[in-house]
Copies of this chain bind each other. A is one copy, B any other.
Amino acid sequence: MARDKKKKPQRPKALPPKGFRDYFGPQVAQRNAMLAQITEVYHRYGFDALESPAVETVEALGKFLPDVDRPNEGVFAWQDEDDAWMALRYDLTAPLARVYAQFRNDLPTPYRRYAMGPVWRNEKPGPGRYRQFYQCDADTVGAPSVAADAEICAMLSDTLEAVGIERGDYLVRVNNRKVLNGVLETMGVTDAGQQANVLRTIDKFDKVGEAGVRELLGKGRLDASGAYIDGVGLSVDQAEPVIAFLTSKALNAAKTLENLRYAVGGSQVGLDGVNELDTIAHLMDAQGYGSDRIDIDPSVVRGLGYYTGPVYEAELTFDILDEKGRKRQFGSVAGGGRYDDLVKRFTGQSVPATGVSIGVDRLLAALREKGRITSVVSGPVVVTVMDRDRMGDYQAMVAELRNAGIRAEVYLGNPKNFGNQLKYADKRESPVAVIEGGDEKERGVVQIKDLALGARLSSEIETAEEWKKQPAQMEIKRGDLVAEVRKMIARAQEMG
């Protein structure tokens, strides 16, 4: 037995690596259609495409851990023949930094660029967590003005509507890291470690709410699992400005900004931040974007730790049912903000940048959820093969159909079993089958069959003879093939 096992050829497993997946016809077409819609908006806003390679030097990505001679485990990395480390990009921002540093003398300033493509993360895969996924970014490099941030918020709003998210079903919410810095200054939290603790705490605002954040800023809190989470140790008074900041959202931007001015106290950086938000609100207003589309909302905390100025996030506001049947909001599909020193690592010069990243897969999922994916793929007309010696006749038919712009194919499997040809057409979601036996050929006619109409019967039909008797079938003149097939497809689309 052991010997037999050894003799058996070792066959490779037909599987992708863990955490990777394949996309088939309609999925590819739907994503490409969405990317084309997004491209159209980005292009209209003056953004130019950039496609950098999937592979960068680890040095350029900046993904070496301190004091360790291997790159960060979060990236897929390897050494080339010269022992230099290369890695797959883990986002589209690090390559932008490298490209801008490399070509800064040739590129316009400001440089508006968009990029779309896969990124790779060397992380433990899980349900819904993949190691290759699409990102779709737009960034403006070299524009210090918040008008650049406002522009990206407007573009994000236009983009969501362009791909089919209706007004009212989304909201672009804007916050500002500088306001939080002002709040920390006013609180007297100057120690970097304590600042980081406060940032970590407000990151939980979405999850634990105002009362939870109060507890976590103070003594601590029992979490849902019963574990006790230590607090930051601030006094109730000291915590007050952060709470005021997080809960400052009011019915209109003017009132929200007033609340923020109160929260930052006398801090100059805080007031700068509030004024930036004021400017953004004003610019949005000037372009006709109401607070139903783009809103100043200091409860947006995602990314506040990373960004240095305005932060923005697009949320879908409609409810979906989660896996347990409970209603919840769909949530975030895009986020971004202003980050300084994009290229400083390379050049030593500070260059401000602001940008957004759209989660393409999440956005597609949202559109499917809302039934707003219009299928961009339709099955082909299938020309069946009744007489294998007359393949030329059948190929001539598909050529005619294709030349008229109709998606069509001839059956290329073994034609012996006609039922298999129909099962194939079924699997292809074919709208129309074309049948021309010797008898039809002689009389100068062909049979065309509305497969949508005949679908429920098809499982019972085994031969071409039976098939011909079905009501969904028509005999037409061979010369009318293109016109009649076109009519039948149009009718099927109207019905369907």
A287 lies within 8 A of B396 (CB)? yes
B53 lies within 8 A of A132 (CB)? yes
The quantity of this chain's copies bound in the complex is 2
> Within the complex, which residue of B39, B143, B402 is in contact with A413, where a contact is CB–CB below 8 Å?
B143
**Can you list the 7 inter-chain pairs with the closest CB atoms, starting with the nearest?**
A46-B409, A286-B392, A14-B101, A25-B48, A28-B49, A78-B78, A143-B412
CB-based nearest B residue for A110: B412
A12 lies within 8 A of B62 (CB)? yes
A28 lies within 8 A of B15 (CB)? no
Residue A126 CB within 8 A of the other chain: no
> Within the complex, which residue of B14, B15, B145 is in contact with A347, where a contact is CB–CB below 8 Å?
B14
> Within the complex, which residue of B12, B15, B59, B143 is in contact with A12, where a contact is CB–CB below 8 Å?
B59
> Within the complex, which residue of B20, B25, B49, B424 is in contact with A109, where a contact is CB–CB below 8 Å?
B424
- Nearest Cβ distance between residue A115 and chain B, in whole angstroms? 9
Q: If A14-B347, A55-B132 touch, does A395 touch B46 (CB 8 Å cutoff)? A: no
A142 lies within 8 A of B413 (CB)? yes
Contact with B along A156-180 (1 / 0, CB 8 A): 0010000000000000000000000
Contact with B along A404-438 (1 / 0, CB 8 A): 01111110110000000000100110000000000
* 29 A-B pairs in the complex with CB atoms less than 8 angstroms apart: A9-B348, A11-B346, A11-B347, A12-B60, A13-B60, A15-B57, A15-B60, A15-B98, A16-B57, A16-B60, A17-B55, A17-B56, A17-B84, A22-B51, A22-B103, A25-B48, A25-B49, A44-B405, A46-B380, A54-B54, A76-B78, A112-B409, A143-B413, A145-B391, A147-B391, A151-B410, A154-B395, A287-B392, A288-B396
B150 lies within 8 A of A108 (CB)? no
Contacts of A395 in B (CB 8 A): 147, 150-151, 154, 283, 286-287
CB-based nearest B residue for A140: B412
Q: Considering the chains assembled together, what is the distance between the CA atoms of A282 and B392 in angstroms?
A: 7
Residue A331 CB within 8 A of the other chain: no
Residue A399 CB within 8 A of the other chain: yes
Residue A148 CB within 8 A of the other chain: yes
A-to-B contact residues, CB < 8 Å: 9, 11-17, 20-25, 27-29, 32, 36, 39, 43-46, 48-57, 59-60, 62, 76-78, 80, 84, 86, 88, 98-99, 101-103, 108-110, 112, 118, 120, 122, 131-132, 140, 142-143, 145, 147-148, 150-151, 154, 158, 279, 282-283, 285-288, 343, 345-348, 377, 380, 391-393, 395-396, 399, 402, 405-410, 412-413, 424, 427-428
- Nearest Cβ distance between residue A84 and chain B, in whole angstroms? 8
> Within the complex, which residue of B13, B78, B402, B412 is in contact with A59, where a contact is CB–CB below 8 Å?
B13
| Chain A binding surface, main DSSP class | mixed
CB-based nearest B residue for A344: B11
B60 lies within 8 A of A22 (CB)? no
B283 lies within 8 A of A45 (CB)? no
Q: What would 11 more interface pairs be, CB under 8 Å, given A16-B102, A17-B56, A55-B120? A: A11-B346, A12-B60, A14-B343, A16-B53, A16-B60, A21-B53, A22-B99, A25-B48, A44-B402, A54-B120, A287-B392
- Nearest Cβ distance between residue A134 and chain B, in whole angstroms? 10
CB-based nearest B residue for A282: B392
Q: If A51-B28, A57-B15, A409-B112 touch, does A399 touch B147 (CB 8 Å cutoff)? A: no
Q: Considering the chains assembled together, what is the distance between the CA atoms of A23 and B28 in angstroms?
A: 22
B54 lies within 8 A of A132 (CB)? yes
Q: Considering the chains assembled together, what is the distance between the CA atoms of A396 and B377 in angstroms?
A: 38
Contacts of A147 in B (CB 8 A): 391, 395, 410, 412
Q: If A29-B49, A55-B17, A286-B393 touch, does A412 touch B148 (CB 8 Å cutoff)? A: yes
Contacts of A43 in B (CB 8 A): 377, 407
